[in-house]
C-alpha cells in the first residue's frame, strides 16, 4: 500500500451498494478489507471482483454480542485503518466496540436524522406525510443513529410514492453523499473533536447545507 493512501475498512451485511459506491469513487485512500457478518452477503462478491480482500465473521457463531464484537474489533485492528465505514452493516454494536473506534467510524442512515432513526424509515416518512426525506452520514456513537451529523442529502417525497420508489430515490442520494463525505474524512477536511464536527473553511457551506438531489 502506498504510504500516502490512508487505509480504510468497510463493513457490510447485504448487497453492498454503498460499498460499491465508495470503492468506485477513486477515494484518496485504500480499502484494505471488506468484512461481513453474513457469509451470504452478495456484496462480498462485488468486493472480490474489485480485488478487495474480504472476510466473514459470522455473528451466529458467537454466544454473545460482546464475543462477536471482540472478534470483529480484533480483525479490524489488524489492518490499522484510518477509518471504518458502515455500509449496510445490520448489527447494533456494543458501547465497547463503538468507543474503541470513536472518531474513526461513520455510518450512512436512510433518513434525515434525527427524524426516523432505526428501521423502516421510508414507511415512517410516508406515514408522517413528510414532504422531504433523504439520508445522513454521521459519526457512530453508542446512541443508535444518534452520533454527530456530518452531512445530509435531501430528496422530495412525491404524492405517488411507495416505500419502494422512495427507497430507490434515497439510495441514489446515498451513493452520491457517502463517497463525498468519505473523501472529506480521508483528507481530514472533516474531523470530530469533543463531539463537535469540524469542517475546513472551504467546506463549511457545502458540508453544513443539505445536498439536494432530484
Which SS3 state, helix, strand or coil, does residue 40 take?
coil
Question: How are the residues of the chain apportioned to helix, strand and coil, as percentages rounded to the nearest 5?
Answer: 35, 25, 40
Q: Which residues have a Cβ under 8 Å from the Cβ of 169 and sit 6 or more positions away?
A: 133, 155, 156, 161, 213
Rounded to whole angstroms, the Cα distance separating 107 from 182 reads 10
Rounded to whole angstroms, the Cα distance separating 26 from 133 reads 28
Rounded to whole angstroms, the Cα distance separating 137 from 110 reads 9
Q: Which residues have a Cβ under 8 Å from the Cβ of 78 and sit 6 or more positions away?
A: none
Q: Which of 109, 122, 133, 175 is catalytic?
A: 109
> Is 59 designated active site?
no
Rounded to whole angstroms, the Cα distance separating 108 from 98 reads 15
- φ, ψ dihedrals at 69, nearest 5°: -60, -40
Residues annotated as part of the active site: 109
Amino acid at each position: 500500500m502506498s504510504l500516502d493512501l490512508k487505509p480504510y475498512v468497510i463493513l457490510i451485511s447485504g448487497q453492498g451498494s454503498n460499498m460499491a459506491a465508495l470503492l468506485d469513487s477513486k477515494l484518496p485512500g485504500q480499502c484494505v478489507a471488506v468484512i461481513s457478518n453474513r457469509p451470504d452477503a452478495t456484496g462480498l462478491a462485488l468486493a472480490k471482483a474489485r480485488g478487495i480482500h474480504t472476510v466473514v465473521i459470522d455473528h451466529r457463531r458467537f454466544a454473545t454480542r460482546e464475543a462477536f464484537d471482540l472478534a470483529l474489533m480484533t480483525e479490524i485492528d489488524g489492518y490499522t485503518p484510518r477509518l471504518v465505514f458502515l455500509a449496510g452493516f445490520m448489527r447494533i454494536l456494543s458501547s465497547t466496540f463503538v468507543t474503541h473506534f470513536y472518531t474513526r467510524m461513520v455510518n450512512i442512515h436512510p433518513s434525515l436524522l434525527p427524524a426516523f432513526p432505526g428501521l423502516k424509515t421510508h414507511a415512517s416518512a410516508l406515514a408522517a406525510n413528510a414532504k422531504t426525506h433523504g439520508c445522513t452520514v454521521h459519526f457512530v456513537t453508542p446512541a443508535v443513529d444518534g452520533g454527530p451529523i456530518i452531512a445530509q442529502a435531501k430528496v422530495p417525497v412525491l404524492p405517488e410514492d411507495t416505500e419502494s420508489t422512495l427507497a430507490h430515490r434515497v439510495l441514489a442520494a446515498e451513493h452520491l453523499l457517502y463517497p463525498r463525505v468519505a473523501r472529506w474524512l480521508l483528507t481530514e477536511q472533516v474531523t470530530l473533536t469533543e463531539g463537535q464536527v469540524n469542517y475546513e473553511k472551504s467546506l463549511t457551506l457545502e458540508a453544513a447545507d443539505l445536498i439536494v438531489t432530484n
